């Protein structure tokens, strides 16, 4: 496709002699964090439902794929064609119910087949645990969700959401006991257990805990901005408002939002 070839050509020109000094200096490690940041910005655009922003962020994420591929070509590792061909082969291999003779009754069977086929792939057959392939560098909420999703596929899961809600209550009680005891290490562990259980509930209900928390973060920022605006209107410093005054403004903002 000429548009894609043009994009790759632009990157090759940027890294070539006489191109951009900054682009030419980069390697896989120096730009590794960019892909993570762009993925989060894409998720934010999707949450906002902004199609124009989604298109832009998809472009920024694609930029990272092309950038790494051109760096790899310069280092004699692989090319963007290798990346595309490898992905195409993987998709065909992991969808034998579409490109082969296997059958999949529903999406649950598709996922089970996907996991079974992944285990057979090069470099994955020696793994002693189904959890070994989950990157430790993932954000903690996403890491927890991946762990829970993986073990659920082999039947290690709750029977209903009520059981997870009960677990959350149990973990809340244990956190209260830890707070009474005053042991910082124990408190940290119990907070982790509570968060893990909340993530598990979101996962079980088919919700993304990261997206849910982002929405709450935005809601909090919006409501707190009302407190800041009121302080400014009164001509006082934010810290000069009493806790009661802040709470009253907060509840007013909450009421205006209907929740």
172: pLDDT strictly greater than 90: yes
114: pLDDT strictly greater than 90: no
Mean pLDDT over the full length of the chain: 91
The domain limits of the chain are 2-93, 97-126, 136-207, 210-257
CATH of the domain spanning 2-93, picked from 3.40.50.1820, 3.40.120.10, 1.10.287.1080, 3.40.50.720: 1.10.287.1080
Q: Is the dihedral of CA 133, 136, 141, 144 positive or negative?
A: positive
Q: Which pLDDT score is estimated for 123? A: 57
Model confidence at 5, in pLDDT bands (50, 70, 90)? Answer: very high
Q: Which pLDDT score is estimated for 136? A: 86
Burial status of residue 187 (CB atoms within 10 A of its CB: 0-12, 13-18, 19 or more): middle
CATH of the domain spanning 136-207, picked from 3.40.50.300, 2.60.300.12, 1.10.287.1080, 1.10.10.10: 1.10.287.1080
164: pLDDT strictly greater than 80: yes
Mean pLDDT across 220-243: 95
Pick the range with the lowest mean pLDDT from 2-6, 115-119, 155-159, 173-177.
115-119
Pick the range with the lowest mean pLDDT from 125-134, 162-171, 185-194, 220-229.
125-134
Q: Which pLDDT score is estimated for 124? A: 60
Q: Which of 39, 20, 34, 14 is nearest to 210 (CA)?
A: 39
Model confidence at 165, in pLDDT bands (50, 70, 90)? Answer: very high
Q: Do domains 2-93 and 136-207 have the same CATH topology?
A: yes
| CA atoms of 187 and 193, how far apart (whole Å) | 10
Q: Which pLDDT score is estimated for 125? A: 57
pLDDT tens digits along 57-95? 999 999 999 999 999 999 999 999 999 999 999 999 989
Q: Are 118 and 127 in contact (CB under 8 A)?
A: no
Residue 13 backbone phi and psi in degrees, to 5: -70, -40
Tokens of 255: 């009421």
How many residues does the structure list for the chain? Answer: 259
Pick the range with the lowest mean pLDDT from 92-106, 197-211, 238-252.
92-106
Tokens of 242: 């009493």
Distances (CA, A) of 131 to 147, 149, 153: 7, 10, 12
Q: Which of 135, 119, 118 is nearest to 127 (CA)?
A: 119
């Amino acid at each position: 496709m000429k548009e894609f070839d043009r994009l790759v050509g632009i990157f090759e020109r940027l890294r070539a002699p006489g191109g951009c000094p900054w682009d030419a200096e980069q390697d896989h490690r120096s730009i590794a964090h960019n892909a993570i940041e762009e993925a989060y910005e894409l998720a934010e655009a999707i949450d906002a439902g902004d199609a124009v922003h989604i298109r832009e962020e998809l472009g920024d994420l694609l930029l990272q794929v092309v950038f790494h591929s051109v760096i790899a070509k310069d280092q004699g590792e692989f090319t963007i064609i290798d990346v595309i061909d490898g992905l195409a082969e993987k998709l065909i291999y992991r969808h034998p119910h579409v490109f082969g003779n296997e059958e999949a009754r529903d999406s649950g069977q598709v996922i089970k087949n996907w996991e079974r086929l992944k285990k057979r792939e090069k470099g994955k057959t020696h793994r002693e645990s189904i959890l070994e392939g989950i990157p430790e560098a993932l954000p903690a909420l996403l890491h927890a969700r991946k762990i829970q999703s993986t073990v659920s596929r082999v039947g290690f899961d709750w029977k209903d959401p009520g059981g997870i809600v009960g677990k959350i209550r149990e973990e809340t009680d244990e956190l209260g006991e830890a707070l009474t005891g005053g042991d910082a290490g124990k408190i940290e562990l119990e907070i982790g257990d509570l968060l893990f259980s909340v993530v598990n509930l979101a996962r079980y209900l088919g919700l993304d805990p990261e997206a849910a928390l982002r929405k709450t973060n935005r809601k909090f920022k919006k409501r707190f901005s009302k407190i800041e605006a009121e302080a400014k209107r009164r001509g006082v410093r934010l810290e000069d408002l009493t806790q009661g005054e802040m709470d009253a403004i907060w509840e007013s903002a909450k009421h205006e939002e209907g929740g």
